[in-house]
Chains A and B, each alone.
Chain A
Amino acid sequence: AQSVTQLDSQVPVFEEAPVELRCNYSSSVSVYLFWYVQYPNQGLQLLLKYLSGSTLVKGINGFEAEFNKSQTSFHLRKPSVHISDTAEYFCAVTGSNFGNEKLTFGTGTRLTIIP
C-alpha cells in the first residue's frame, strides 16, 4: 500500500519570500510523484510530475520539486512567491509497477501569501 503525508496543513508566507511545501511518501515499489494546485472554486491542475530521470523537476509558475529516494520525499519549492500563488497544493503518488495503482493524494497544504 502507498501513502502520502503532507505535514503542514497551512503555510503563510510573505510575498516575494521563498517557500517549501513538504511531502513524504510511503510505497513498497518505485513511485511516480505529482504536485497539483487547486485555486478556490476550481479543480486540481498539474504543477509538475516525476516519472524518472533527473530528480529535480521543474513545473509551471516557477515551481520545482526534488525527488529524494533515501528520504522518501518530494518537496515543492518556489524561490519567490506571488499573491497569485495563494491556493491549496496536493502531493500525489502512484506505484510505478506498470502505473496501474490508483493515485493517492495527500491531505493538502493551504498556501497563503501575505502582502
Chain B
Amino acid sequence: DAGVIQSPRHEVTEMGQEVTLRCKPISGHNSLFWYRQTMMRGLELLIYFNNNVPIDDSGMPEDRFSAKMPNASFSTLKIQPSEPRDSAVYFCASSPGQLFNQPQHFGDGTRLSIL
C-alpha cells in the first residue's frame, strides 16, 4: 500500500522566492503533521491537522510559513518569502485517529536549500 508521498524530494531556490511543499497522506488517516529537521534543532513539529482542520500551529516559526489542508488527501506547506535559514528537510507524517499515541507514518521528506 502507498505510504505518505511528498513532493518535490529536493528543492533548491533563491532567497525571496516562494516555496511550496506538498504531501499526500495515507488514505484513511485523519491526522497530518508537518515537521522540520535540522542538525541544530533536530525534529520540530510545525503544525498538525485533524480531519483537515489545523489544531496547533504553535510550531510554525513565523508568518512567512503557512499550511493548508483543503481535503483529506492533500496538504501544502508554503514559505513566502524564503530565507537561507529555512534550509532543512521537511517531513510530512500521517496517523489514524486524532491522538499522539497513534504511530505516525512519515514520508521521505523534501530537502530544501535556500541560496
Contacts and interface: CB of A to CB of B under 8 A. Distances in A.
A108 B103 CA distance: 18
Q: Is the interface of B mostly helix, strand, loop or mixed?
A: loop
B12 interface: no
Interface string B13-57: 000000000000000000000000000001101001000000010
Interface residues of B, number: 20
Interface string A33-45: 0100000011111
User: On chain A, which size bracket covers the interface?
Assistant: 20 to 34
Contacts of B4: 43
Contacts of B109: 41-43
A99 B42 contact: no
B93 interface: yes
B108 A101 contact: no
B108 A46 contact: no
A90 B107 CA distance: 16
Contacts of A103: 45, 100, 104
Contact of B103 (A34, A41, A96): A34
A105 B48 CA distance: 15
Given A102-B56, A108-B42, A43 B91 contact: yes
A-B pairs, top 3 by smallest CB distance, nearest first, are A43-B106, A99-B99, A99-B101
29 contacts: A34-B103, A41-B108, A41-B109, A42-B108, A43-B4, A43-B93, A44-B43, A44-B91, A44-B93, A44-B106, A45-B106, A49-B103, A94-B100, A96-B101, A99-B99, A99-B102, A100-B98, A102-B45, A102-B48, A102-B56, A102-B100, A103-B45, A103-B100, A103-B104, A105-B42, A105-B43, A106-B42, A107-B42, A108-B42
Interface of A: 32, 34, 41-46, 49, 51, 90, 94, 96, 98-103, 105-108
